[in-house]
């Protein structure tokens, strides 16, 4: 029945194809596109935003001078890459939400309410990072946002809060946002830093790497110095964080310097680092490993970023957190490998071009062990107490999950099937890592042994009507 020709189906759709389809227009995606075009490949780059830049360089080509001044020189550095990308001859499809990538390299996306597909010779996943979940009592209340989301508002539309905000957590982005808010004149009620003295001690073991990556270190110290000299209340080594309020956030409670403290504020911005966005690589059933130094899952790749799903590559933070410069370099490496596989570049040329890129990747990663140690999120902020909500879509608490484990649901998928945890619209983006670590902790095994949610398409939402149009 399914094979009969249907007379009503007169619409003939030409299959769209490209040598290389890149998902994500951040530094990795833009750099990969430039390299692939340089070697004669046809390139389609799909991205949800109206302009190139990704999250790190969001709005880079349209930001007014004053906003560039607020955001600082690192942000401006993205402009050069974006300009080169614009001239590369890659087809940049904006407003494209990719909702499925198949193992045979069909890329399905939604644009203006229409479902479209491209068949790709090679696929590069440059989907970047997402924020690590920061579950604590009250984190689901209105008035609580992630630091990253607040920064997106600042970059994309210059929106900043008018009331005093609390910034809590750890990691470079938190201090950067504080510094950017200072420059934008946003009042900061307090910075509540979970980094403590012992973290500095641990991080000092990696001091050699930090010195080798001195530019990063200098930048970070500069931000901290600016924040501290600004007179913003700065609390170090904060523990027992909890958002105050019943219906909406009223402030943040915590312990710092041996004292219980409260800072009143209607807007609490939480951040404790970023982790790879692995939704596509999981949905492709690629192999992943647990990275104990970055406390996250990362796809297993070869030296070019290729997954164990042939012809599909990962570059940038979606393969492991390395920052913008490393992402661009990895994008170039994956681009070189992809064009070589397509017969457009000789392997020895590829290797010759790759050698200096690899050296620069290494140089830029020297600082990582230091940063990973210094800003390692605290156990209590990753593996919360029983009453804290973990899956906010389905309102599943840490205690619920521990209960399911005791019933024999010993992996994230069993917990999901049994108690809906991770089944909601975010598909585990906001709870996946927490669930992994809670289960591992409850079972007394390494997180890598528990596995992760099976991630299902659509990776981005698509409506029944949009899909029905394809029938």
Partner 1 sequence: MKPDSTALPLGSDVIIIGGGFHGTSSAFHLSRRGAKVTLLEAEYCARHASGVNAGGVRTLGRHHAELPMARASLDLWHRLPELVGDDGSFVASGQLQIAETPQELDELRRNVAELNASGFTHEVMVDAQQAREIAPCLAHHVLGGTWVRDDGHAIPYRAVTAFRAAAQRLGAQFHEATPASSIERVGSEWRVTTPRGVFAAPWLVNAAGAWSGEFAAQAGDVVPMKPGGLMLMITQRVPHFIDPVLGATGRPLSFKQFANGTVLIGGGLHCSADVVRRHGEVDFKKLASSAKTVTDLFPHLIGINIVRAWAGVEAFMPDEIPVISLSRHAPQLVHAFGFSAHGFELGPIGGQIVAELVLDGHSTLPIEPFSVDRFAPTTVH
Q: Which residues bind partner 1 (CB under 8 A)?
A: 100, 102-103, 108, 285, 394, 407-411, 413-414, 417-418, 420, 423-425, 427, 454, 456-458, 461-465, 467-471
Q: How far is the CB of 454 from partner 1 (least distance, A)?
A: 8
CA distance 175 to 311: 38
Q: How far apart are CA 331 and CA 334, in angstroms?
A: 5
Q: State in angstroms the smallest separation of the CB of 407 from partner 1.
A: 7
Q: From the CB of 356, what's the least distance to partner 1, in Å?
A: 39
**Read out DSSP for 348-405?**
HHHHHHHHHHHHHHHHHHTTHHHHHHHTPPPHHHHS--TTSEEETTTTEEHHHHHHHH
Of the candidates 115, 130, 125, 149, the one whose C-alpha atom is nearest the C-alpha of residue 47 is: 125
The DSSP 8-state label assigned to residue 306 in this structure reads B
Nearer to partner 1, 364 or 427 (CB): 427
Min dist CB 14 to partner 1, Å, is 16
Provide the pairing of β-strand 251-256 with 259-264.
Answer: antiparallel
Residue 279 CA to its chain's centroid (Å): 10
At closest approach, how far in Å is the CB of 462 from partner 1?
Answer: 6
- For partner 1, the closer of residues 164 and 457 by Cβ is 457
In whole angstroms, the minimum distance from the beta carbon of 59 to partner 1 comes to 27
Per DSSP, what are the bridge partners of residue 192?
Answer: 168, 235
Q: Kindly state the smallest distance separating residue 452's Cβ from partner 1, in Å.
A: 14
Cis peptide before 425 (omega within 30 of 0): no
Dihedral sign (CA 293, 298, 302, 305): negative
Residue nearer to partner 1 on the CB measure, 171 or 458: 458
Strand partners, 93: 46
Q: Output the CA–CA distances (angstroms, integers) from residue 324 to 99, 209, 320, 329, 440, in the order listed.
A: 25, 18, 12, 9, 31
At 450, list the tokens.
């528990």
Sign of the dihedral through C-alpha 207, 211, 213, 217 = positive
C-beta of 316 vs 422, nearer to partner 1:
422
Least separation, in Å, of the C-beta of 24 and partner 1? 21
Q: In the 8-state DSSP scheme, what is residue 246?
A: S
Reduced to 3 states (helix: H, G, I; strand: E, B; else coil), residue 69 is helix
Q: How far is the CB of 430 from partner 1 (least distance, A)?
A: 14
- Min dist CB 274 to partner 1, Å, is 24
Sequence-separated (6 or more) residues with CB below 8 Å from residue 368: 209, 213, 293, 321, 322
CA distances from 232 to 71, 126, 279 (A): 19, 37, 38
* Residue 38 vs 454, nearer CB to partner 1: 454
108 or 368: whose CB is closer to partner 1?
108
Q: Toward partner 1, which CB reaches closer, 3 or 257?
A: 3
Smallest distance, Å, CB 461 to partner 1? Answer: 4
With both helix axes pointing from N to C terminus, report the angle between 147-157 and 172-184 in degrees, rounded to the nearest 10: 40
- Based on CB atoms, which residue is closest to partner 1, 106 or 242? 106
Q: Which is nearer to partner 1, 99 or 297 (CB)?
A: 99
Cβ proximity to partner 1: between 366 and 452 the closer is 452
Cα 411 from Cα 159, distance rounded (Å): 41
Closer by beta carbon to partner 1, 238 or else 462: 462
Task: Give the three-state DSSP class for 151.
Answer: helix
């Amino acid at each position: 029945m399914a094979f009969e020709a249907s007379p009503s189906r007169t619409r003939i759709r030409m299959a769209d194809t490209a040598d290389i389809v890149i998902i994500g227009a951040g530094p990795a995606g833009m750099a990969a596109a430039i390299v692939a075009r340089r070697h004669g490949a046809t390139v389609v780059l799909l991205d949800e935003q109206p302009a190139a830049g990704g999250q790190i360089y969001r709005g880079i080509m349209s930001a007014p001078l004053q906003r560039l001044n607020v955001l600082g020189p690192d942000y401006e550095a993205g402009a050069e890459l974006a300009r080169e990308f614009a001239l590369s001859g890659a087809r940049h499809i904006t407003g494209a939400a990719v909702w499925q990538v198949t193992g045979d390299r069909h890329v399905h996306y939604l644009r203006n309410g229409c479902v479209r597909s491209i068949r790709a010779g090679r696929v590069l996943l440059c989907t970047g990072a997402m924020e690590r979940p920061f579950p604590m009592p009250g984190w689901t209340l209105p008035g609580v946002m992630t630091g990253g989301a607040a920064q997106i508002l600042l970059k994309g539309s210059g929106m900043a809060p008018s009331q005093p905000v609390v910034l809590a957590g750890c990691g470079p982005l938190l201090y950067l946002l504080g510094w950017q808010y200072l420059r934008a004149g946003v009042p900061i009620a307090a910075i509540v830093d979970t980094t403590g003295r012992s973290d500095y001690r641990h991080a000092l073991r990696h001091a050699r790497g930090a010195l080798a990556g001195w530019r990063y270190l200098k930048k970070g110290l500069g931000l901290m110095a600016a924040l501290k000299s600004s007179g913003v209340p700065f609390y170090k080594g904060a523990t027992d964080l909890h958002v105050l309020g019943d219906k909406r956030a009223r402030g943040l409670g915590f312990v710092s310097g041996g004292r219980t403290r409260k800072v009143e504020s209607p807007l609490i911005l939480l951040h404790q680092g970023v982790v790879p966005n692995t939704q596509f690589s999981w949905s492709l059933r690629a192999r992943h490993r647990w990275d104990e130094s970055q406390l996250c899952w990362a796809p297993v790749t070869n030296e070019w970023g290729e997954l164990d799903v042939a012809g599909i590559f990962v570059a940038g933070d979606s393969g492991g957190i390395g920052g913008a410069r490393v992402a661009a370099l990895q994008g170039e490496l994956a681009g070189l490998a992809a064009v070589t596989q397509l017969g457009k570049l000789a392997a020895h040329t590829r290797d010759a071009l790759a050698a200096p890129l690899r050296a620069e990747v290494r140089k830029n990663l020297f600082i990582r062990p230091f940063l990973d140690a210094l800003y390692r999120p605290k156990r209590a902020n990753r593996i919360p107490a029983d009453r804290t909500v973990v899956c906010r879509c389905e309102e599943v608490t840490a205690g619920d999950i521990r209960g399911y484990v005791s019933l024999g649901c010993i992996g994230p998928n069993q917990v999901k099937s049994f108690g809906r945890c991770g089944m909601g619209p975010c598909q585990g983006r906001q709870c996946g890592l927490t669930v992994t670590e809670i289960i591992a902790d409850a079972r007394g095994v390494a997180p890598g042994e528990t596995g992760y949610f099976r991630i299902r398409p659509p990776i981005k939402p698509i409506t029944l009507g949009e899909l029905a149009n394809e029938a």
